[in-house]
Structure 1
């Protein structure tokens, strides 16, 4: 049942900390304020579009050309990808079209809980259950929850439970767009020695040899079997990224090569973000036994260089 803005404000608003707003019919969002940061979270897609630590520049990039409309994917922030990553691996088995990156990012999630803890941090929980769309795509026995812990750190956790009698296969990801000053000056630590599939070179398997990765061209790499913490160096900012329950790390930037084909990106958008993603996909696809639960989380912390 669709939650209205009046119902949300009555049940879940927290004075001075959590308020509800509507961009247009069907696009409900939470504005979250804590002593340490501010954030914006849409019910469609359980999609965080802003997280800004107090006194600092935004940590997430939102395209100025992104659609903010029912049923349209939001370009930027943290898209939640489920139950597949990219094109569906078994799309040919279904008569209906499988949307890119799954249905979760274009589904309206249900707000379950808001909570202000004694430190001033805000906790948000949303849930996603099967509907007509998911059932038509073969997912009719699952529950998913997204938990957000918003304060000086950002923590996001996706939990999936198989409610069916058969094993359930799925992929998942936090397709995080980190806002940066200049993509060509960014360094990424933590992937040395990892094996990746290079989607910009016919999915050839390669090994990351350098200790620091630099963005010098269009990039779409799927680093498999890696759970290592990462650090983004962006000018005077050091962004720490840790994850649990994720065995795949994806890095992406469309550069000048792919940007012209993405109408929801501005011409210069590629200069101002890098995607560093906590994922389980391809080699690390999840097979969940009946009644079992799987969790994946990502924690982001900002530190001055």
Structure 2
């Protein structure tokens, strides 16, 4: 892979390699394990991505924060609950394919070597590619291509962790009118801004394609493409104590708002066709 002047390959203390971006408009880090972005900070702005202070970036373990890629299933596998939660992509080693820099825009593309994916979990002929488009905003595009002679179906999510200085002073706008399931109950209709006063685990369907996270530090706009479902999550007090690589009080400084294809929004791809799940994130 040919690098650009603003891009280098670095190594974390644990030995995991990551792509480091330091351009005129932003800084970013993308780990080869999981193709997981763990930092995105526009120039002269606060970070747009959250990672736990307890994260140690170990081989074979999912990272607590950033944008984990959940694929080819979201949550527990419907057929086998012993399979890896949120699929295999986020704990697999991806290949860095291409970096391009044109003007102030940097594009970083990675692919998942499908030969390395255990066909117990995914036996279909396909490709999986993620592209990060980095300016003063972040765009992530996850593309699955069906190379088989039959329709394939799956669920997925870009499991984005966002920062906030105070979760109880944070609200989500743009989910009004959507339906949601929470803790297996519902569907309910969202009528108002969403606030946080307890553990939150809402799976939305028929969701508008843009939401805004209103925090004391400013407003983050989150857009989605080819997705009518999204997930809103905060572990709150009790669950925080049970999470790995997560400080007991860190629920106060984070939330997840995830571009997804889940529930009725499951992806089905015909032979030789592709599907791209995308999200765009920026301060406004």
TM-score range, shorter chain: over 0.9
- Is 1:98 aligned to 2:83, yes or no? yes
- Is 1:18 aligned to 2:7, yes or no? yes
Aligned-residue Cα RMSD (Å) equals 1.5
Native 8 Å contact 2:202 2:232 kept in 1:
yes
Task: Please name the residue that 2:190 is paired with.
Answer: 208
Native 8 Å contact 2:229 2:260 kept in 1:
yes
Listed as ranges, the gaps of 5+ residues in structure 2 are none
Aligned residues: 284
Hey, which bits of structure 1, 4+ residues long, moved more than 4 A?
Answer: none
Alpha-carbon distance in structure 2 between the residues aligned to 1:247 and 1:208: 15
Deviates more, 1:66-75 or 1:39-48: 66-75
1:158-177 to 2 correspondences below 5 Å: 158-177=142-161
TM-score (structure 1 length as normaliser): 0.89
- 1:46-88 Cα shifts (integer Å, max 9, x gaps): 1000001112221111011124011100000111110000001
- 1:250-270 Cα shifts (integer Å, max 9, x gaps): 100000021111021111110
- 1:99-147 Cα shifts (integer Å, max 9, x gaps): 00000000111111001112x2211011113235431213341101100
- Is 1:110 aligned to 2:91, yes or no? no
CA shift for structure 1 position 283: 1.5
1:220-231 to 2 correspondences below 5 Å: 220-231=201-212
1 or 2, which has the higher helix percentage? 1
Listed as ranges, the gaps of 5+ residues in structure 1 are 1-10
1:1-305 to 2 correspondences below 5 Å: 11-15=1-5, 17-23=6-12, 27-91=16-80, 97-118=82-103, 120-199=104-183, 202-210=184-192, 212-303=193-284
Mark the CA change 1:179 to 1:287 in structure 2 (over 3 Å): closer, same or farther: same
